[in-house]
């Protein structure tokens, strides 16, 4: 493998077309920061350092005209707080790790960034294997052997994954997996136990110099290395893939690390990992194309994890994007390992404006220990769900589209509000009782717009807008617009439901007051329970601006406009678009209608008891209900 690293300079030009070009690119100009160092033997001053694939590690590194060359030089240098280590735009580094060597301070973090113009600097977890390095395997068609003692974690042809024989075949012996490669095209297997270790590949055709063959050999390509107060900005990592590992950016055991405007492509278990770290911020991150065949949930683009060694960790994920044709992998997965002495390894998790276009039925999964605060705000789940397996989470202002765009609550005191669910297909036979599934206690579902997709199996009794796992959820459901071709509510258990549903607008041809349930098995006919479960409800067309094109704003004359009349300010909140709902006269659904008059004019009729709008468009209510049903803190 060592001989392969000498080819890096010739490969820079070859791979430049593979990176996304910026239409305009900033040119960063830095001034030298003067730092007085006292007693910092062996530690570089808080200067700016430059690194280029065409540099030299014997250079000073403190000038763009005299840059260092390798990541090893960077990793072996201690940096003072406030230092900037900048990598040349358009540069490529192969088969190397960037490992933070020093900590900054909260006021003077150490920054790993970029300089120049062109594509962001790219760190490859792979090395290029020349076609001449492969040896044909005797008596096997299109099968080749590459001798190497360096462990190969995956194999790509023209930067497209081939399949791991051990993952696909399920065989445990080297002979079995080698035989599988020999008989199956587009597969690979690394045998490190043989007297001559090496990589077996079957590309389905001859090895030729016209193809690019890359072998990921480095995991955790950008590694915080338990250092604190760091910033990684405008960096790209490619081909770090490994089964059950292979992170591109691994923030481990660190405090106050920011990863900004970074990209990860062709990764393994995770693209961006925040593990046992606190104060993490991941903003404007893009993850795409994970290693295939890792199994259900085997990889996710983003992850937050903490165990008993690290208490009360926090992370924020802002404006991040996941696109992944392989799977089935979640875009975001958060979980922890609590203990008796540390019941809350993760204290806070914020996911803001995350956009997911990935494997169907995979989105965001949050498994909490029960005490952390989770906030998921904004963003778009395209054909993927949000699953909350814990308590005290708030889902606010999210757009979920497609048949699998659902929300699942398996915990207590969670809130779903100001959210649009469009096109979800509810089918209890497929495990989706509703567009929203409530399997907890004391959850609140309010001010959402739920427009279901078509019926399943030609029957109107296979699901609903909201599915209840039992008849004692004590769910509060109010202020929603529910447009469904079948039932609004689905309940597994018989008996009168304990949920409190009020002030909702029901559209469509379904039976909004009926909960469907099934008894012991799907073979028993589904029956309806003629129990009134909602009061002060409205029925009719919500008059969306253009639902067919995804615009669920309300027309000014909508019967859902200005119909909710709480006597307190508990319900004042921002809607899906960030508009503040007016105190006292909220519109139903996720999107608030702008007030036609001042807030004072809207509230005045409530005080004197004179309706400002026709009774068909609004209702009044005393405050007793809000004392009976307090909201979660």
Reported as a single tens digit per residue, the pLDDT across 181-193 is 999 999 999 999 9
Are 111 and 59 members of one domain? yes
Look up residue 536 and give its two tokens: 């002060």
| pLDDT of amino acid 23 | 34
> Is 371 buried (19+), middle (13-18) or exposed (0-12) by CB count in 10 A?
middle
Domain boundary among 101, 124, 147: 124
The mean pLDDT value for 11-28 works out to 36
pLDDT tens digits, 337-363: 887 777 778 889 999 999 998 777 789
Domain boundary among 156, 190, 216: 216
Are 244 and 270 members of one domain? yes
**pLDDT for 623 beyond 60:** no
| pLDDT of amino acid 331 | 93
Residue 156 belongs to some domain of the structure = yes
CA–CA separation, 136 and 258 (whole Å) = 47
DSSP string, 488-521: EEEESS-S----EEES-EEESSS-TT-EEE--SS
Are 232 and 167 members of one domain? no
CA distances from 588 to 65, 100, 180, 553, 558 (A): 62, 51, 59, 11, 10
**pLDDT for 96 beyond 80:** yes
| pLDDT of amino acid 627 | 26
Where do we find the tokens 């690394």? 190
Residue 274 backbone class (left: φ over 0; alpha: ψ -120 to 50; beta: rest): beta
> Is 137 buried (19+), middle (13-18) or exposed (0-12) by CB count in 10 A?
middle
Cβ–Cβ < 8 Å for 173, 161: no
| pLDDT of amino acid 34 | 31
Residue 533 belongs to some domain of the structure = no
Are 158 and 17 members of one domain? no
**pLDDT for 12 beyond 90:** no
pTM: 0.85
Handedness of CA 201, 202, 206, 210 (dihedral sign): negative
The mean pLDDT value for 192-213 works out to 97
Are 358 and 282 members of one domain? yes
Q: Please state the separation of Cα 1 from the chain's center in Å.
A: 35
**pLDDT for 619 beyond 70:** no
Are 262 and 366 members of one domain? yes
pLDDT tens digits, 100-129: 999 999 999 999 999 999 999 999 999 999
Q: Average per-residue pLDDT in the chain?
A: 82
Please tell me the total count of domains within the chain: 3
The mean pLDDT value for 24-51 works out to 49
**pLDDT for 9 beyond 80:** no
| pLDDT of amino acid 443 | 94
The mean pLDDT value for 372-400 works out to 94
DSSP 8-state class, residue 209: T
Residue 416 belongs to some domain of the structure = no
| pLDDT of amino acid 525 | 41
Domain boundary among 377, 399, 421: 377
Residue 507 belongs to some domain of the structure = no
| pLDDT of amino acid 500 | 83
Are 188 and 94 members of one domain? no
Residue 457 belongs to some domain of the structure = no
Are 235 and 160 members of one domain? no
pLDDT tens digits, 503-560: 899 887 555 555 555 544 444 444 444 445 666 788 889 999 999 999 999 998 899 9
Residue 442 belongs to some domain of the structure = no
CA–CA separation, 499 and 490 (whole Å) = 12
| pLDDT of amino acid 490 | 78
| pLDDT of amino acid 561 | 92
Q: Which of 279-293, 432-446, 484-498, 518-532 has the highest mean pLDDT?
A: 279-293
**Strand blocks (E) in 219-269:** 222-223, 230-233, 236-238, 249-252, 257-260, 263-267
Residue 420 belongs to some domain of the structure = no
The closest alpha carbon to 406, from 385, 425, 391, belongs to 385
Percent of the chain whose predicted confidence (pLDDT) is above 90: 61
**pLDDT for 621 beyond 90:** no
Are 241 and 322 members of one domain? yes
Q: Which of 238-252, 366-380, 521-535 has the highest mean pLDDT?
A: 238-252
The residue with greater pLDDT, 30 or 45, is 45
Handedness of CA 610, 612, 614, 618 (dihedral sign): negative
| pLDDT of amino acid 534 | 66
> Is 586 buried (19+), middle (13-18) or exposed (0-12) by CB count in 10 A?
buried
Q: How confident is the model at residue 407 (pLDDT cuts 50, 70, 90)?
A: very high
Q: Which of 8-22, 373-387, 553-567 has the highest mean pLDDT?
A: 373-387
Are 160 and 273 members of one domain? no
Look up residue 633 and give its two tokens: 């803190």
Residue 547 belongs to some domain of the structure = no
Cβ–Cβ < 8 Å for 551, 545: yes
The mean pLDDT value for 296-311 works out to 87
Are 320 and 287 members of one domain? yes
Look up residue 445 and give its two tokens: 């579902």
Q: What are phi and psi of 203, to 5 degrees?
A: -90, 0
Range of the domain at 35: 2-124
**pLDDT for 167 beyond 90:** yes
Are 211 and 225 members of one domain? no
| pLDDT of amino acid 401 | 94
């Amino acid at each position: 493998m060592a001989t392969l690293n000498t080819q890096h300079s010739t490969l820079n030009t070859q791979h430049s077309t593979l990176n996304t070009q910026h239409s305009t690119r900033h040119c960063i100009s830095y001034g030298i920061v003067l730092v007085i160092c006292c007693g910092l033997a062996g530690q570089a001053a808080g200067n700016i350092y430059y690194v280029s694939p065409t540099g030299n590690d014997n250079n000073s590194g403190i000038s763009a005209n005299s840059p260092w060359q390798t990541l090893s030089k960077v990793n072996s240098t201690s940096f003072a707080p406030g230092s900037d280590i900048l990598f040349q735009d358009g540069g490529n580094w192969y088969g190397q790790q960037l490992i933070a060597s020093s900590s900054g301070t909260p006021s003077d973090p150490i920054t790993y960034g970029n300089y120049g113009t062109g594509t962001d600097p790219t760190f490859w977890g792979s090395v290029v294997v020349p076609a001449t390095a492969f040896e044909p395997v005797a008596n096997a068609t299109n099968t080749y052997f590459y001798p190497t003692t360096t462990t190969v974690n995956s194999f790509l042809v023209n930067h497209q994954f081939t399949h791991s024989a051990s993952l696909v075949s399920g065989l445990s012996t080297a002979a079995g997996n080698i035989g599988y490669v020999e008989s199956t095209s587009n597969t690979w297997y690394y045998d490190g136990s043989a007297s001559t270790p090496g990589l077996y590949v079957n590309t389905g055709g001859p090895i030729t110099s016209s193809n690019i063959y890359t072998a990921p050999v480095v995991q955790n390509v950008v590694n915080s290395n338990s250092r604190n107060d760091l910033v990684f900005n405008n960096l790209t990592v490619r081909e770090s893939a490994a089964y059950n590992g292979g992170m591109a950016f691994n923030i481990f055991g660190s405090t106050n690390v920011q990863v900004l405007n970074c990209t990860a492509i062709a990764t393994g278990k995770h693209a961006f990992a925040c593990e046992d770290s606190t104060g993490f911020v991941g903003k404007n991150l893009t993850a795409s194309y994970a290693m295939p065949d890792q199994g259900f949930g085997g990889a996710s683009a983003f992850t937050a994890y903490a165990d008993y060694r690290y208490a009360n960790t926090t992370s924020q994920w802002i404006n991040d994007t996941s696109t992944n044709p392989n799977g089935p992998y979640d875009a975001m997965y958060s979980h922890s390992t609590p203990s008796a002495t540390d019941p809350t390894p993760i204290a806070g998790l914020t996911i803001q404006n995350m956009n997911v276009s990935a494997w169907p039925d995979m989105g965001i999964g949050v498994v909490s220990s029960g005490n952390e605060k989770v906030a998921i705000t904004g963003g778009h789940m395209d054909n993927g769900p949000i699953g909350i397996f814990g308590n005290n989470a708030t889902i606010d202002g999210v757009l979920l589209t497609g048949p699998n765009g659902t929300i699942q609550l398996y915990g207590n005191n969670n809130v779903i509000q100001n959210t649009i669910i469009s096109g979800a297909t509810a089918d209890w036979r497929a495990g989706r009782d509703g567009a929203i599934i409530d399997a907890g206690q004391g959850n609140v579902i309010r001010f959402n717009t739920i427009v279901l997709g078509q019926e399943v199996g030609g029957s109107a009794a296979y699901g609903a807008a909201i599915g209840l796992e039992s008849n004692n959820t004590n769910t509060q459901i109010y202020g929603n617009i529910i447009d469904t071709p079948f039932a609004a509510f689905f309940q597994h258990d018989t008996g009168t439901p304990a949920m409190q549903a009020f002030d909702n607008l029901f559209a469509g041809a379904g039976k909004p007051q009926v909960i469907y349930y099934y008894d012991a098995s799907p073979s028993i006919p589904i029956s309806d329970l003629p129990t009134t479960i909602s009061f002060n409800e409205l029925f009719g067309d919500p008059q969306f601006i253009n639902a067919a094109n995804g615009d669920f704003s309300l027309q000014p004359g909508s019967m859902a406009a200005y119909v909710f009349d709480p006597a307190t300010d508990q319900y004042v909140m921002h809607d899906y678009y960030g508009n503040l709902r007016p105190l006292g006269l909220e519109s139903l659904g996720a999107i608030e209608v702008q007030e036609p008059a001042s807030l004072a004019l809207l509230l005045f009729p409530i005080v004197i008891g004179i309706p400002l709008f026709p009774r068909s468009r609004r209702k009044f209510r005393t405050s007793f209900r809000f004392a009976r049903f307090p909201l979660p803190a």
